Amino acid sequence: QFIQLQEEYITIDSRITLAQQEQSRQQELNEGSAGALKNLQTATADLNALMARKASLKKQIQLMGINPSSINRENLRSALVVTSPVSGTISNELAKIGSYVDVSSPVVEIVDNGLLHLDLQVFERDLPYMKIGQVVNFTITNNPKVTYTAKVFNIGSSFENESKTIAVHCTVVGNKTGLIDGMNITGMVSVEDVMASTVANDAIVEADGKFYIFVHTDKDPEAGHKEGGHEHKEGESHDQKAEEDHDHKPGEKHDHVADNKQTEKKINFEKIEVVKGVSELGYTVITPVTEIPKGVKIVTKGAFFINAKLSNTGGHEH
């Protein structure tokens, strides 16, 4: 049928040209009182009908995805390109080759992951805490290390089947990489905004039933503890390393240049005791036992190895 529409669209131009010529002829005859007015009216009506038919054919061809200006006798289309109204990925093919498809028959199912949203199942007792606009941090079951963000835009008004839960719909914002329709997720809803000090879970170490973090410090690692069990007499020079037990004579000096070169590139850390709070999404709330200066750099990775090195060397907390 669409081939016949193309054929009629091509031939209708010649019919319009003929109708225009007939109208002009009847117009001249009527002006010279040699023709009947009825013939002129009939010619004008035929021309208008053909013009309307051409406009209708043009719209029908455009709806089929064909550019009317590209149609000619040598370029009749024998197949149509079906354009999807949305962009995305085909998740299911419903039509088969050779099968009949009408305007109400689905051909394929298309999933647009750019429009993904969450359906959270919330129990009745938790419903009073839910509000539109709340932020939801969630992870997918097969990759819990990656955290995504969503925002509540609708709260259901009826229970879902026999689960006795209410559906809370959320729009995914930001990164959507790795998300696929139908995935199971675990979500954490931010009920209220509370400011707290947090660090990555890997930044906390446990020792003797207490918890610690390590911060970068410019303090001298030898400050505040006793030297290697001996006294220094007036005029004696030494570096920051613990020295072997021996007696120093008055005026005796030591050359520690080589030792100083070895310590120049060392980075010092201070061990700070903290009280652990709740842990979620890879972070833990902490309360330092002693005040931590603002802007201090905290070790977020490798804290366990720093603590192990400290324990093996019997060193102090730097």
pLDDT at 247: 53
- Using a 10 angstrom Cβ sphere, with 0-12 exposed, 13-18 middle and 19 or more buried, the burial of residue 89 is exposed
Q: Where are the domains of the chain?
A: 2-70, 113-189, 194-226+265-318
Residue position matching structure tokens 């290697």: 228
Distance CA 40, CA 252 (A): 132
**How many Cβ atoms are within 10 Å of 140's Cβ, its own excluded?**
17
Angle between helices 2-31 and 37-63 (to 10 degrees): 160
Annotate 167-201 with b (16+ C-beta within 10 A) or e (fewer).
bbebebeeeeeebeeeeebebebeeeeeeeebbee
Residue 120 burial (C-beta neighbours within 10 Å; 0-12, 13-18, 19+): buried
Q: What is the mean pLDDT of the chain?
A: 77
Cβ-based neighbour number of residue 152 at 10 Å: 20
Give the list of residues 6+ apart from residue 210 with CB closer than 8 angstroms, or none.
273
For residues 301 and 298, give the distance between their C-alpha atoms in angstroms, rounded to a whole number: 9
Domains 113-189 and 194-226+265-318 share a fold: no
Question: Nearest Cα to 89, choosing from 184, 187, 182?
Answer: 182
Structure confidence at residue 61 (pLDDT): 85
- Arithmetic mean of pLDDT, 64-72: 83
pLDDT band for position 46 (cuts 50, 70, 90): very high
Query: Would you say 112 and 149 are in contact if contact means Cβ atoms under 8 Å apart?
Result: no
At 174, the pLDDT band (50, 70, 90 cuts) reads confident
Query: Given 3-state DSSP classes, what are the helix, strand and coil percentages for the chain, each rounded to the nearest 5?
Result: 30, 25, 45
The pLDDT-based confidence of 56 (bands split at 50, 70, 90) is very high
pLDDT one-digit tens code per residue, 188-226? 887 766 677 888 888 888 888 888 888 887 776 554 444
For the ranges 2-16, 185-199, 240-254, the maximum mean pLDDT occurs at 2-16
- What is the DSSP annotation of 67-114? -GGG--TT---SS-PPPPSS-SEEEEE---TT----TTS--EEEE-GG
Pick among 1.20.120, 1.10.20, 2.40.420, 1.10.3470: CATH of 194-226+265-318: 2.40.420
Block residue for tokens 């009317």: 68
Whether the predicted pLDDT of 48 surpasses 90? yes
Residue 164's pLDDT is: 80
Q: Mind listing the pLDDT tens digit for each residue in 122-147?
A: 888 888 888 888 888 888 888 888 88
What superfamily in CATH does domain 113-189 come from? Efflux pump adaptor protein, beta barrel domain (2.40.30.170)
126-134: long-range pairs with CB below 8 Å, 24+: 127/155, 127/166, 129/189, 129/191, 130/155, 130/168, 130/189, 134/189, 134/190, 134/191
For residue 210, what are its two tokens?
């207490």
Beta strands in the chain (DSSP E): 89-93, 108-111, 117-123, 135-140, 143-159, 165-173, 185-189, 198-200, 205-207, 210-217, 268-280, 283-288
